[in-house]
Amino acid sequence: MGTLRWFFAAGILGLWLCGQTLAQQIASPSLQQPSSVQPTGLVSQDYLTFAPQPDASGAPPAPGNQPAVKPEAPGNAEAKEEPKEEEKKEDEEKKEDEDKGFKLFNGPWLECHRIDIRGWLDQGITWNPNDPVDRFNGPVGYNDRANEYQMNQLYWIIERVTKTDECNPMDVGGRVDFLYGTDRRYADAIGLDTEWGNRFYGLAMPQMYADVAINNLVLRGGHFLAPCGYESVMAPENFFYSHSYSFLYGEPTTLSGGSAIYKFNDQWSANLGLDTGWNDWVDVSHKLNYMGGFNWTSKDQKQTLAWEMFIGDQLPNVDSNRTHYCLVFTQKLGKKWQYVLENNVGYEENANVLPNGNRTHGDWVGLSNYLIYTINDKWSLGFRYEWFDDDDGTVVAAVGPPPVSAVPSHYNALTWGLNYKPNKNVVLRSEMRYDHSTAPVFENGTIPTRDQYLWAFDAIVRF
């Protein structure tokens, strides 16, 4: 797979250089699209100017009450109106800047070439009253360290989102992500990141891809986040500090390969692709894997549905075909409530090794429920309940010291969270979590236990 890696790297560099040339030829005003693995629509605003209204009485003022005013030339009248219009524009620009928040890297050159450089710092602490000796919170992640500070993410993004229209039917873009911190262990890709860090802290590249857009079709090649699931590697996109078992173990985090994404209209889009396997940069199984799915949004944007399927071998020298699907449904409940349902189902042949050396299949099922209540533009409440079945011990494994192996078990997890956003750049998150397992996968000191309580707090600062 060395040739494949060089092919990806050369292709990304070539497409990026082509993108710079194409960007200089684009005459239409620049418009930054949202950055997401799944295609989304754009929302524009119309600004209306209202003329002064007549006096409420409808009658002209009496001549005796009207002060004597010398008529002004039209030029003077226009001169008086100009400052008002300028003040309005300044106020609008100031309001737009406040809404966007502070950006460390911003300027005319970047805007002209539609290049966005952004990032954030996420750090926090998790209190575990069981006080495990090895300081690991069992299979809970990304906040897996008990009773100590974690710098989870120092995250950087360099991105150029493709934009096409009638005048410019083709465009080139790409994206590179850098993640330094304890979370990099969950975003590692075999053959790309594993040699870049130590036991806890290190560097990972969750994404490194190039895009070629032709009208409503986007062709993507490289290393990218898997287009599935409600939660994300990127901290600001999650309501909770901790993550569900489904996200951690039941679905792929990153993929390496290529995909085609087509947007039919504002409601429907679909994707198809080939990849090297879950969380792999090199093809461990030496067999291509397949993925495909669709996204749907209702016309009133109150419901969304995303479905994705993955098929392919994951293990070297073993026929271990893995079939997995992920479904996410969101529903807006009024103006302040939102409900999310995620379902994961997976099956893998020859996944588990029996004591006699023979292999048997493994399967897992996850069901996650989220309920988010937005109190106002600064405060919001969240609740998550998850049930995850890994009774074959196929996918769930703690991230503590070796030897580490999956344990057959059923998991139930309840999480309550509170978010506070003092401004556009800062998010403070606090949560309480209770986990129960049918197998003793947690630790109370040095004693295995089936229950665990956690209280966690973290802060995200965007730049």
Which residues touch 425 (CB under 8 Å, ≥6 apart)?
101, 102, 461, 462, 463
Rounded CA Rg of the chain: 27
CA torsion angle 123 129 132 134 (round to 10):
20
Q: What is the pLDDT of residue 13?
A: 46
Burial class (CB in 10 A: 0-12, 13-18, 19+), 81: exposed
Q: What is the pLDDT of residue 95?
A: 57
Q: What is the pLDDT of residue 99?
A: 65
Which residues touch 188 (CB under 8 Å, ≥6 apart)?
194, 204, 279
Chain length of the chain: 463
pTM of the predicted model, to two decimals? 0.77
C-alpha span between 178 and 233 (Å, rounded) = 12
pLDDT tens series, the chain, 463 aa: 444 444 444 444 444 444 444 334 433 333 333 333 333 333 333 323 333 334 433 444 444 434 433 344 444 444 444 556 666 556 665 555 556 788 898 889 999 999 999 999 999 999 999 999 999 999 999 999 999 999 999 999 999 999 999 899 999 999 999 999 999 999 988 888 766 667 789 999 999 999 999 999 999 999 999 999 999 999 999 999 999 999 999 999 999 999 999 999 999 999 999 999 999 888 888 889 999 999 999 999 999 999 999 999 988 878 889 999 999 999 999 999 999 999 999 999 988 877 777 888 899 999 999 999 999 999 999 999 999 999 988 999 766 555 456 788 999 999 999 999 999 999 999 999 999 999 999 999 999 999 999 999 999 999 9
Q: What is the pLDDT of residue 387?
A: 98
Backbone angle region of 388, left / alpha / beta, with phi > 0 → left and psi within -120 to 50 → alpha: beta
Q: What is the DSSP string of 303-341?
A: EEEEEEEEEEE-STTS--EEEEEEEEEEEEETTTEEEEE
Q: What is the DSSP string of 102-138?
A: --SS--HHHHHTT-EEEEEEEEEEEE-TT--TT-B-T
Q: What is the pLDDT of residue 22?
A: 38
Residue type, 131: D
Query: In the chain, how long is the greatest CA-to-CA distance?
Result: 110
C-alpha span between 369 and 350 (Å, rounded) = 31
- Closest C-alpha to 1, from 232, 339, 194, 286: 286
Q: What is the pLDDT of residue 28?
A: 36
- Which domains are assigned to the chain? 2-23+105-462 (2.40.160.10)
